[in-house]
């Protein structure tokens, strides 16, 4: 496991130990860092390369991937800029570490930036598992996501993500051609063992 600042994001990279498994891009939630989701990555995709960047935006000292105006209200100009920045980093990392296009696995703020990357730079990702995601852009471009697999796991009692918002995200991605599986779990905003099991099963069948 290496930590490096050589590319455009501070990140960790864990090389693959099994050939042919898709690389996983791990995107943390607010207040997380490049270490946060590594244990999750090991559980859901054993043997895969893991690439885990740290968000560059600070909110009260807590790393995030883009600015928000308040909870649930995003600075969409910043979302767009940061999504392109992250997509550029993915391209750098793919070249530096000889990786295929990764599957993003994002939680909360990390899931939201992954959804934005799908909509703005679809070539950057092979697919995405979006855990507790919201609609990142109210007026996204007409991206072509034909055949890209997307898993959305929402919490039925999530106090942060309204149920209709998660449904709208699933619909937006489906409309642009993504193969979307949306599951609503009997939980809140935090991750559960069911999230781990469902995400692993989803990655296993890719």
The domain segmentation of the chain, as residue ranges, is: 2-204
Which 3-state string (H, E, C) describes 83-138?
HHHHHHHHHHHHHHHCCCCCEEEEECHHHHHHHHHHHHCHHHCCEEEEECCCCCCC
Catalytic residue among 11, 158, 182, 195: 158
Is residue 158 annotated as part of the catalytic site, yes or no?
A: yes
In the predicted model, is pLDDT for residue 21 greater than 70? Answer: yes
Distances (CA, A) of 69 to 59, 72, 79, 159: 10, 8, 11, 18
Catalytic residue among 35, 84, 189, 192: 189
Is residue 182 annotated as part of the catalytic site, yes or no?
A: no
Is residue 204 annotated as part of the catalytic site, yes or no?
A: no
Catalytic residue among 28, 108, 154, 182: 108
Predicted local confidence at residue 2, as pLDDT: 66
pTM for the model = 0.97
Per-residue pLDDT averaged across 78-89, rounded?
98
pLDDT tens string 106-159: 999 999 999 999 999 999 999 999 999 999 999 999 899 999 999 999 999 999
In terms of CATH architecture, what is 2-204?
3-Layer(aba) Sandwich (3.40)
Q: Quick one: CA dihedral 78, 22, 153, 118, positive or negative?
A: positive
């Amino acid at each position: 496991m290496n930590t490096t600042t050589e590319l455009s994001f501070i990140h960790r990279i864990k090389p693959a130990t099994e050939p042919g498994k898709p690389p996983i891009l791990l995107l943390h939630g607010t207040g997380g860092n490049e270490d946060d989701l590594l244990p999750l990555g090991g559980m859901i995709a054993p043997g895969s390369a893991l690439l885990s960047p740290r968000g560059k935006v600070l909110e009260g000292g807590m790393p995030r991937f883009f600015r928000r105006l308040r909870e649930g209200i995003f600075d969409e100009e910043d979302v767009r800029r940061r999504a392109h920045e992250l997509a550029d980093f993915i391209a750098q990392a793919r070249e530096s570490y000889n990786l295929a296009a990764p599957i993003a696995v994002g939680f909360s703020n990390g899931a939201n930036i992954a959804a934005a990357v799908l909509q703005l730079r679809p070539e950057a990702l092979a697919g995405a598992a979006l855990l507790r995601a919201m609609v990142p852009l109210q007026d996204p471009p007409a991206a072509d996501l034909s055949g890209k697999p997307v898993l959305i796991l929402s919490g039925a009692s999530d106090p942060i993500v309204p149920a209709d918002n998660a449904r709208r995200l699933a619909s937006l991605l489906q409309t642009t051609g993504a193969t979307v599986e949306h599951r609503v779990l009997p939980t809140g905003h935090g991750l559960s063992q069911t999230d781990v099991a469902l995400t692993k099963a989803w990655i296993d069948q890719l």
